[in-house]
Structure 1
Amino acid sequence: MATRNLRAWFLVHKWTSLLCTLFLLVICVTGLPLVFHEEIGAWVDDSRPYAQVASDTPPVPLDRLLAVARRHYPHDVVTSVFVDDDEPQVVVGLAPSWERYNTRPATGHTMKFDAHTGAVLRDSSAPAAMGAGFLTVILHLHGTLLTGLGGTLFLALVGVVFVLAVVSGVVLYGPFMRRLRFGTVRTRRAARLRWLDLHNLLGIVLTVWMGMIGLTGVMNEFSTPLFALWQASDVQAMLRPWQGRAAVAPAELTSLDAAFRAAQAAVPGRRVISTIFPGSRFGTPYHYAMWAKGTTPLTSRLFTPILVDARTGAVAVVVRMPWYLRAVELSRPLHFGDYGAAPLKVIWALLDLGTIGVLVSGLVLWFGRRRLSLEARLRGTGYNRDVAGHDALPAPTRAAR
C-alpha cells in the first residue's frame, strides 16, 4: 500500500475513533445491563407470584380482565392489551385520556393480571420498583442519550462513524503488526507498547462482532423514523377506505376475545400477542391494531400487524411490512444477543467488555501519544512498500519502537 493511501487510512482511523469513543463508552456500559434486562427485570419485579395451577388450566377471558381494569379506573381509557407468550400474565394499559396519552405516553399506566386466575399481580400506578426505573433510564440512555429523536439520529451517526473506525483499523492492522506474531503483547517493553499491542489484539479479535454490533445498532436507531415513515405512507394508504368515518367510541367496541380469535385465524402458524386500541397515535381510529409473531426461533422475531374492525370484530387487513422494517426486526436479537438464552448473553457481555477494553486502550494511547510521523511509526514495524515506482521505507530502528 502506498504511503499516501496508508496515511489516509491512518487519519480516518484516528479521527473516527476519537469522534465516537466517548459516546461508544456510554453505549457499551449501558448495554451490559440491557443484555440481561429480562433477568434483572424478574429480579426487581415486586409483583405478586403467579398462581400454581394445572398445566391445562384455560386462560381467563380478556373481556373479563378489561372489565376489572375499568372498574378500578372508571374514568380512564384502555390503550392496549399484551398477552405474554412466555409467562402466564396479561398486561392492560390505561391512560387518563387519549389526548394526554398521545401527547405524553408517560401518563399511561398498566395493570398486570394472572392469566389463569385473573388476579391483579401489580398495579403500576403504585410506586415503581427502583430496579424497573433504573432499566428504563438505562434503555433510554442507550438508545437516545435521553434526548429523544435527536439523540436517536445522533447515535445512528455515531454508529456509522464506529463502523468506519473498525474498517480502517483492519486495514492498518497488517502494516503495523507484520513483525509480531498474532496475539503478542510485549509485556517487557514500554507501557505504551503494551497498550498498543492490547488495543490491536482486542480490536482484530473483536472486528466481526464490533462491525455487526455497529451496523445493527445503526439499524435499530433508524427504526423509529422508518416506522413513522411507514405509518405516514403505506398505513395511511390502507386506511383510506375508512377515512371520513367517526372514530370508534369505547361503548361501540366489540368483544376483544372475538377480535383476538379472528386475528388468530387470519395468521395460521403465528400467535397474536397484543393489541392497540382505537384512538392511539400508534394505531388507527377504527381498528384494533393487533400484532402476531411466529412460533419458531427465527419467526419469533418477525411481527405481523393485523387490523381488526373494532365495531364488527372482522379482520380488515393483514398488513405486510416492508423489507427494511423486517431487517430492523431481525437486527434486534443480533444486537442484544437475546435469542440464545443465558449462555449467549454471557458471551455477549464478555464481548462487550472486550469492546470497552478497545475503547479504553485507544484513549490511553491518544492521551499518552508522542508526535511521530507515519513513516516513523512504520519504521518501528518493519513495513516496506513494494509498490513499483516508490521508494521503500527505511529499515526499522530501535528508536522508532
Structure 2
Amino acid sequence: MQRKTIRRWAWVHKWSSLVCTVFMLLLCLTGLPLVFSDEIHDWVGDHIATPEIQHTGPMASMDTLLAAAKSRNPGYVPLYMFRDEDEPLQWTISMGKTADATTGIRYVVMDARTAQVLGEPPAEQGFMYVMFKLHTDLFAGLPGMLFLGVMGLLLVIAIISGVVLYAPFMHKLSFGDIRHQRGEKLKRLDIHNMLGIVTLSWFFVVGATGVINTWADLLVTYWQSDQMAQMIAPYKNLPPPTQFASLQQSMDVAQKTEPDMQLGFIAFPGTGYTSQHHYGIFMRGDTPLTKRLFKPVLIDAQTATLTDSRPLPWYLVALLVSQPLHFGDYGGMSLKWIWLVLDILSIVVLWTGLKIWWKKRHQVMPAIYVDSMAHRMQPHQG
C-alpha cells in the first residue's frame, strides 16, 4: 500500500471516529443499563408480580380483559395488547387518548386468569425511560433516530478503516503487547489498538444492528404503504366502524388460521400496525428464533372474519432479528454479562481514541512514519 493510500485511510479513520465518538460513548453508557433492563426494573420495584393463587378454570376472555382496562381509563382507547415472556399469566394493554397517540400512553397490567388489574406501571418517566430515549432517539423522535443511524454508519466506517491500519501499526509487535516503557502516548495507542481488535466483531455487530434499528419507523411505514395497503385494499373507501366484534372471537379465528403459532401481540384498529377496520393479531413461533418473527393476521373488526395473512417481508425480518443481537437479550444472563464486559471495553476504546486525538491534534503525521507504514504494507518479494 502506498503512502497516499495510507494517508487516505488514516484520514478516514480519524474523522469518521471523531465525528461519532461522543455519540457512541453516549450510546455505550446508556446501553449498559438497557442490557439489564428487566433486572433493574425488578430491583427498583417496578416489576409487577403475578399473584400466587389456585386457579383451575379457564383463562379470562380477551373481551373481559379489554373491558377491565377500559373501565380503569375512561376516555382512552386500546392501542396494543401484549404479554411479557417472563410473566405468561399477565396481559398488558397500552391505552391512549387516540388510536394514533405516541405520548401520554397508559399501561394496564392484568391477571390473565381472573382479569384482575394488577397495576398501572408509570410510563414516560424514570431513569430507565430516560436511558431508553437517549439511546434510541435523543428525545428527538424520528430525526434523532436517523441522526444516530448516521453516527452508526460512521462507526462502521471507523472500524473498517481501523482494521486496514492495524497491520502496519502492529507489524513488529506481538498481539497484546503494551509498550509501558516507551511513554504514555505509545502505551495509550497500544491499549486502543489491542482492545479495538478484541472488541472488533462485537462492536461491528452492535453498530450495524443499531443502524438497522434506527430505520425501524421508516421500514414499518414502507410496509404499511406496501403490503399492508394490499391487504386492506377492499376497505380503502369505507368509513371507520362504530361497532366492534368480540376480541376473543377474533383471536380464535387468528389461532385457527395459524394453528402452529402462538399469540405475540394484538394491534387495535387505527394503530400503526393495522388499519381502522381490523384487529392486527400478530402470531409467532415458539423457538428462540421464530418467537421473534411475527406473522400478521388481519381480522375484520366488525365481523371477526379473516381478511388476510402473510409473512413479513425480508426487511422487517432483518429488523426483528437485529434487535436481540443489539441488546444481547437472547441468551440469558450469561450473554448479558458478556455484553456488559464488551460494552465497557468499547468505552475504553472510544475514550483512548479521543485522548490520542486530543494529544496529537496539532501534530501532522511525520512523513518518515507514513513511509515506514507504506513499506511494511508492501507484499514481500520472493
TM-score when scaled to structure 2? 0.92
Give per-residue Cα distances to partners, 1:98-142, cap 9 Å, x unaligned: 2xx52x421231211112232211124xxx389x62212211111
Q: CA deviation at 1:295?
A: 0.3
CA contact (8 A) 2:3 2:371 kept: no
Give per-residue Cα distances to partners, 1:35-68, cap 9 Å, x unaligned: 1112112333446532213586642222112222
Match of 1:189 in 2: 182
Q: Distance in 2 between matches of 1:302 and 1:281?
A: 18
CA contact (8 A) 2:171 2:376 kept: no
CA contact (8 A) 1:176 1:378 kept: no
Which shifted more, 43-52 or 142-151?
Answer: 43-52
Consecutive unaligned residues of structure 1, counting only runs of 5 or more, are 390-401
| Alignment: residue pair count | 379
Q: Distance in 1 between matches of 2:180 and 2:313?
A: 53
Q: Distance in 2 between matches of 1:379 and 1:348?
A: 39
Aligned positions of 1:133-282 closer than 5 A: 133-249=126-242, 252-282=243-273
Q: Distance in 2 between matches of 1:235 and 1:25?
A: 38
Check if 1:314 corresponds to 2:311: no
Match of 2:369 in 1: 377
Q: Distance in 1 between matches of 2:276 and 2:372?
A: 69
CA contact (8 A) 1:176 1:381 kept: yes
Check if 1:294 corresponds to 2:285: yes
Check if 1:120 corresponds to 2:112: no
CA contact (8 A) 1:307 1:319 kept: no
Q: CA deviation at 1:83?
A: 3.3
Q: Distance in 1 between matches of 2:47 and 2:199?
A: 40
Consecutive unaligned residues of structure 2, counting only runs of 5 or more, are none
CA contact (8 A) 2:279 2:299 kept: yes
Match of 1:95 in 2: 96
CA change 1:43–1:262 in 2 (3 A) is farther
Give per-residue Cα distances to partners, 1:376-401, cap 9 Å, x unaligned: 43577795454699xxxxxxxxxxxx
Give the letter aligned to residue 196 of structure 1.
L
Check if 1:342 corresponds to 2:333: yes
Give the letter aligned to residue 375 of structure 1.
A
Give per-residue Cα distances to partners, 1:258-313, cap 9 Å, x unaligned: 11111112123221132121123442111001111210001111111111111121
Give the letter aligned to residue 50 of structure 2.
Y
CA contact (8 A) 2:231 2:307 kept: no
Q: Distance in 1 between matches of 2:374 and 2:312?
A: 54
CA contact (8 A) 1:248 1:278 kept: no
Q: CA deviation at 1:336?
A: 0.7
Give me the CA root mean square deviation.
Answer: 2.3
CA change 1:159–1:75 in 2 (3 A) is closer
Give the fraction of aligned pairs with identical amino acids, expressed as a percent: 38
CA contact (8 A) 1:7 1:374 kept: no
Q: Distance in 2 between matches of 1:23 and 1:298?
A: 31
Match of 2:76 in 1: 76
CA contact (8 A) 1:287 1:307 kept: yes
Q: Distance in 2 between matches of 1:154 and 1:95?
A: 28
Which shifted more, 74-83 or 175-184?
Answer: 74-83
Which shifted more, 331-340 or 260-269?
Answer: 260-269
Match of 1:393 in 2: none
Q: Distance in 2 between matches of 1:388 and 1:166?
A: 26
CA change 1:196–1:55 in 2 (3 A) is farther
Q: Which of the pair has more CA radius of gyration?
A: 1
Q: Distance in 2 between matches of 1:177 and 1:115?
A: 60
CA change 1:153–1:118 in 2 (3 A) is same
